[in-house]
């Protein structure tokens, strides 16, 4: 999933300062799962904004709405009937959702209420961790199912570096060494011979380095 | 003076400046640098040394700059943001300054997809405007970008590039303004062929007061052939070569096209000397260094001032 965290309240108050009436829009997908921008978080932020602005003596009207999927133009269309009544849309979706809404409603400011963080998974309740860097050419089959790009601080392909200590990364004792994990898993799988191959320099064109990416599926065109 | 740069001195003394360009070799070939450089010595006030231009690997621009320094020339050390993060940039700047490089040019750099390693990761830790701020902060405040104090700051005369012909046109001068605000001491422009459009650009720059804060050197490149003119017109992004320019070269028989290119260039330089706000030219004679002495002679730019 795409993970996100709500922006600090101070920043949010600053960004809505010019407005008197906003539509606060959540998303029912990833940001709901990571508890950053679903229906519940929309309700909480809406009441915090109303109370805060009331205290400032500049009341703010906040209406709430949560779309099934904000990054999908079909769902973003649902805002069309009401959006004209507002000074701005404040989106609690990831950056994809914010941009989909902004592209559809060109004349309206669309303010982000969350910081989109990374593609990751839930480690335990309340903890999410980065798992995928979206490089466009998956190597997990070579690395015991653990990604050296997303999980090694130096994104080393032939690790571990000299900074690995007792299974932890040199940047922090809270960060696992990805190559320790890779090695442990390769041993478990009986695939240690994979380690002896020097992994070649990556072709970063399939990642963000090659420029903004698109997927075009001719077979899906209507 | 902010630096010991010959270019800074020439511009400060009010001379019409001339800079040249030298592309480093695709190998560890010292002689190739010296051969090219010999043609430029005494002909220009500073020589730009390109940094992996068009994203093709070449000898390091700081190394080639030092070779020019040793030959008694003033290198304009180019540095792109594509290949280095801010740590590498700042350490290279310190090394260059310590070894006598006084002038540098801050650039974004062409995207790796144009070059010989399209697979390469794209650094762009900072952009060219942030790079100008970084170098001028190092020089003027004696601080690294991270805030720590520098023991003996690098005394660089800091330049930036500008393309008057990219789109949207209304942003071209505004972006130039940002580079000036970031601290650019001088500007070298993209090759100019559309003189009218460049004159309009300069008019706006003068109106905004930018030419009082920075020195603009107008970029010029001799067209060697009709083929080159067509290539520049069609294939080089952000280049504006009017049809009549291409036609003028193409109308000549093949053996006279180079001569026509030089004639056109001399006429352009004449016009640029008269254009308000233009403080000099940047002559990019691409793989034509040996023709530079003839070009500057014919354009009436010799002798170069001793300052």
The structure tokens listed for B239 are: 């280049």
- Per-residue pLDDT, averaged over B103-121, amounts to 96
> What residues does A128 pair with on adjacent strands?
A122
Q: Given an 8 Å threshold on Cβ–Cβ distance, is B113 in contact with A202?
A: no
What are the CA-CA distances from residue B281 to residues A13, A21, A56, B180, B269 (Å)?
51, 55, 58, 18, 8
Looking at 3.90.1150.10, 3.30.70.260, 3.40.50.10490, 3.40.50.2300, the CATH number of the domain A2-118 comes to 3.40.50.2300
Contacts of B236 (CB under 8 A, 6+ apart): none
Q: Nearest by CB to A203, from B111, B119, B122: name it.
A: B119
- Give the pLDDT confidence of A168-200 residue by residue, as tens digits: 999 999 999 999 999 999 999 999 999 999 999
Of B252, B274, B254, B255, the residue nearest B264 (C-alpha): B252
List CB contacts of B184: < 8 A, sequence separation 6 or more: B106, B132, B158, B159, B160, B214
- Nearest CA-CA distance, residue A39 and chain B, Å: 37
Contact B183, B133 (CB under 8 A): yes
Average pLDDT score over residue span B125-145: 98
Are B121 and A210 in contact (CB < 8 Å)? no
- Which residues of A fall below an 8 Å CB-CB distance to B? 201-205, 207-211
| Dist CA A169 CA A164 (whole Å) | 5
Question: Is 90 exceeded by the pLDDT of residue B236?
Answer: no
Residues in chain B closer than 8 A to A209 (CB atoms) = 112, 120-122
CB A19 within 8 A of CB A87: yes
Query: Residue A14 CA to chain centroid, in angstroms?
Result: 23
Separation between Cα atoms, residue A29 and residue B153, nearest integer Å: 52
> For chain A, which residues make up each domain, given as ranges?
2-118, 133-210
In CATH, B6-222+278-298 is 2.60.120.590: no
The mean of the pLDDT values for chain B is 97
**Which chain B positions have a beta carbon within 8 Å of A203's beta carbon?**
119
Q: 3-class DSSP state for residue B268?
A: helix
A chain contacts of residue B113, beta-carbon cutoff 8 Å: 205, 210-211
Q: Measured between beta carbons, which residues in chain B are less than 8 angstroms from residue A205? A: 113, 118-119
Q: Which residue has the tokens 């040793």?
A: B70
Closest-approach residue (CA) in chain A for B114: A210
The band of B134, judged by pLDDT with boundaries at 50, 70 and 90, is very high
CA distance B164 to A44: 50
Query: In this model, does residue B166 exceed pLDDT 90?
Result: no
Chain A residue numbers touching B121 (CB-CB < 8 A): 202, 204, 207, 209
Rounded to whole angstroms, the Cα distance separating B234 from B258 reads: 19
Flag whether pLDDT at B60 surpasses 90: yes
Task: Dump pLDDT digits (tens) for B253-307.
Answer: 999 999 999 999 999 999 999 999 999 999 999 889 999 999 999 999 999 999 9
Task: Please tell me the distance from the alpha carbon of residue A220 to that of residue B21, in angstroms, as a whole number.
Answer: 51
B119, A204: Cβ pair inside 8 Å?
Answer: yes
Cβ-based neighbour number of residue B215 at 10 Å: 23
Tell me whether residues B119 and A211 touch, CB distance under 8 A.
no
- Which of B111, B112, B119 lies closest to A201 in CB terms? B119
pLDDT tens digit sequence for A71-111: 999 999 999 999 999 999 999 999 999 999 999 999 999 99
Residues of B in contact with A201 (CB under 8 A): 119
Task: Name the residue in chain B with its Cα closest to that of A206.
Answer: B119
Q: Which residues are paired to B107 by β-bridges?
A: B80
pLDDT bin (cut points 50, 70, 90) of residue A222 is: confident
Q: Residue A5's pLDDT is what?
A: 98
For residue A151, name the pLDDT band (cuts at 50, 70, 90): very high
Interatomic CA distance for residues A134 and A114, integer angstroms? 20
Q: Which of A156, A203, A209 to mutate to test the interface with B (most CBs of B within 10 A)?
A: A209
The pLDDT value recorded for residue B173 is: 95
DSSP for B109-149 reads ---GGGSS-TTS----SS-HHHHHHHHHHHHHH-B-TTSPB
């Amino acid at each position: 999933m795409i993970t996100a965290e709500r922006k600090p309240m101070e920043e949010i108050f600053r960004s809505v300062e010019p407005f008197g009436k906003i539509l606060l829009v959540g998303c029912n997908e990833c940001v709901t799962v990571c508890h950053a921008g679903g229906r519940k978080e929309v309700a909480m932020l809406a009441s915090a904004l109303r109370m805060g602005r009331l205290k400032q003596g500049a009341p703010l009207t906040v209406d709430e709405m949560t779309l099934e999927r904000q990054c999908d133009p079909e769902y973003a269309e649902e805002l069309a009937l009401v959006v004209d009544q507002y000074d701005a849309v404040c989106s609690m979706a990831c950056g994809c959702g914010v941009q989909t809404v902004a592209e559809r409603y060109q004349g309206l400011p669309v303010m982000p209420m969350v910081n989109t963080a990374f593609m990751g998974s839930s480690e335990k309740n309340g903890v999410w961790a980065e798992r995928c860097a979206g490089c466009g050419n998956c190597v997990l089959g070579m690395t015991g199912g653990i990604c050296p790009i997303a999980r090694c601080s130096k994104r080393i392909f032939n690790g571990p570096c000299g900074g690995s200590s007792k299974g932890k990364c040199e940047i922090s004792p809270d960060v696992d060494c990805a190559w320790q994990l890779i090695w442990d898993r390769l041993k478990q799988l009986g695939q240690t011979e994979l380690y002896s191959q020097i992994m070649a320099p990556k072709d970063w064109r399939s990642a963000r380095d090659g420029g903004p990416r698109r997927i075009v599926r001719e077979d899906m065109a209507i | 003076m902010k630096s010991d740069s010959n270019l800074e001195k020439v511009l400060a003394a009010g001379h019409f400046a001339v800079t040249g360009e030298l592309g480093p070799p695709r190998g560890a070939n010292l002689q190739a640098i010296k051969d090219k450089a010999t043609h430029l010595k005494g002909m220009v006030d500073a020589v730009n040394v390109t940094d992996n231009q068009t994203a093709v690997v070449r000898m390091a621009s700081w190394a080639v700059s030092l070779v020019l320094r040793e030959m008694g020339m003033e290198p304009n050390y180019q540095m792109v943001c594509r290949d280095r993060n801010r740590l590498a940039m700042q350490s290279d700047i310190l090394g260059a300054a310590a070894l006598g490089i006084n002038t540098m040019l801050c650039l974004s750099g062409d995207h790796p997809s144009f070059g010989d390693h399209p697979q390469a990761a794209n650094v762009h830790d900072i952009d060219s405007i942030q790079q100008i701020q970084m170098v001028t902060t190092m020089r003027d405040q004696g601080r690294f970008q991270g805030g720590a104090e520098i023991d003996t700051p690098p005394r660089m005369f800091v330049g930036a590039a500008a393309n008057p012909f990219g789109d949207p046109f209304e942003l071209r001068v505004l972006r130039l303004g940002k580079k000036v605000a970031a601290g650019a001491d001088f500007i070298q422009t993209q090759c100019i062929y559309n003189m009218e459009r460049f004159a309009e650009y300069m008019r706006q720059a003068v109106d905004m007061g930018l030419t009082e804060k920075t020195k603009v050197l107008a970029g010029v490149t001799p067209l060697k052939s009709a083929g080159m003119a067509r290539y520049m017109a069609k294939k080089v992004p952000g280049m504006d070569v009017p049809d009549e320019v291409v036609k003028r070269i193409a109308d000549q028989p093949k053996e006279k096209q180079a001569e026509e290119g030089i004639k056109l260039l001399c006429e352009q330089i004449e016009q640029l000397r008269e254009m308000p706000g233009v403080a000099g030219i940047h002559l990019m004679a691409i793989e034509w260094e040996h023709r530079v002495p003839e070009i500057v002679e014919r354009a009436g730019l010799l002798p170069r001032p001793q300052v």
